[in-house]
Structure 1
Amino acid sequence: MSITLYIVRHAKAEDRAIFMADHDRQLTPDGIIAAARMGRYLHRKGVQPDQMISSTAPRAKDTAKVFAEQLGFDLTQIQLDEKLFDGGPKAYLAAINALPPSTKTAMIFGHNPDVSYLAEFLTHENIGSMSKGAVAAVTFETSDWAEVSGRTGSLAFQIGPKQLV
């Protein structure tokens, strides 16, 4: 039995203004379009997540909502985790390890450099810096999310919005 994790970097967000906290930045119109394109791409690939977890930052949360709309996932079921905003890769791993055994496919939405580090840590692949709106799909030969750790995953694919144009 295997499980799949989709690691998603939030789509393009507005530049940080002097008066705005980094946490509160919103998606740009181009970011919304790119997120919808990526969500449609995953839908065509047959992706049906059982769980979605997102940072509380609007740019990540709204990326998750756009993906959810494209994938037919109930927006009210998106789990928000404030630790994903500034908690580093360990916060992402903790959220993943806490997923219930009934979850076979999960998506986690967050920020760089954490999502890129996470993808590299889990797969031991050279992921580089994930582009805005990019997705890394990682599979694990286990059915227990608590067993997910460094080098236990295999990179199924990595794709960004610009590759879909």
Structure 2
Amino acid sequence: MKTLILVRHGKSSWKEDLPDHERPLKKRAFNDADLVIKAFKLQNNYEPCVFSSSAVRALTTAKLFKEALKIEDDKFSVKKELYTFEEGELLNFVRNADDSIQNLMLFGHNPAMTNLTNQLGDDMINNLPTTGLVVLQFEIDSWKDINSGKTLVKLFPKMFR
């Protein structure tokens, strides 16, 4: 059994004229992350291995989760290839994950996150909102075999405001 946790980065700021990769989070994103993290903590204790996009907004979001969930440094990595908007590239990353990882948590970008959620899960969503989190479960032993799974959890900030 494998569990994939997908988290879209928090709401980013367009206040400054920065390259896309360098855009920071808006203040609202920190509150949204707190709301989703609190709800996620009430779920099963997944003890995930975390991989984040290198974009500032995704990495900042991932670090908020890392701290709140007490994720060890050796279970937290930044991967340039997760700075993608294509679900095929995300799926390729997942399929190449080490099979010793049972719970894989990715921080990334839309439309890739929404599209991958809909491709792999059994509960379609129109849009994975900023700081939205989805937990998908698969009856597999190897990430290479990932195909269709079950959508276990959907946590969106507006559910808790």
TM-score of the superposition, structure 2-length normalised? 0.91
User: 1:62-141 residue pairs with structure 2 within 5 A?
Assistant: 62-75=60-73, 77-86=75-84, 88-141=86-139
**Residues paired across the two proteins, number:** 161
Unaligned runs of 5+ in 2: none
Q: Structure 1 CA distance, aligned partners of 2:47 and 2:96?
A: 16
Deviation at 1:87, TM superposition (A): 5.4
Structure 2 CA distance for partners of 1:130 and 1:140, relative to 1, 3 Å: same
Matched, 1:161 2:157: yes
TM-score of the superposition, structure 1-length normalised? 0.89
Q: 2:145 aligns with which of 144, 147, 150?
A: 147
Q: Structure 1 CA distance, aligned partners of 2:126 and 2:34?
A: 23
Structure 2 CA distance for partners of 1:13 and 1:101, relative to 1, 3 Å: same
Percent identity between the two aligned chains: 25
Secondary structure in structure 2 of the residue aligned to 1:32: helix
Aligned partners of 1:47 and 1:71 also within 8 Å = no
Q: Structure 2 CA distance, aligned partners of 1:132 and 1:87?
A: 14
Deviation by residue 1:8-54 (Cα, 9 ceiling, x = unmatched): 1111110264x310111111121012112212221222333331111
Q: Structure 2 CA distance, aligned partners of 1:65 and 1:134?
A: 15
Name the amino acid aligned to 2:78.
Answer: L
Unaligned runs of 5+ in 1: none
Bigger drift between 80-89 and 102-111 goes to: 80-89
Structure 2 CA distance for partners of 1:50 and 1:126, relative to 1, 3 Å: closer
Deviation at 1:97, TM superposition (A): 1.2
Secondary structure in structure 2 of the residue aligned to 1:86: coil
Deviation at 1:86, TM superposition (A): 2.7
Q: 1:7 is matched with which residue? A: 6
Deviation at 1:92, TM superposition (A): 0.8
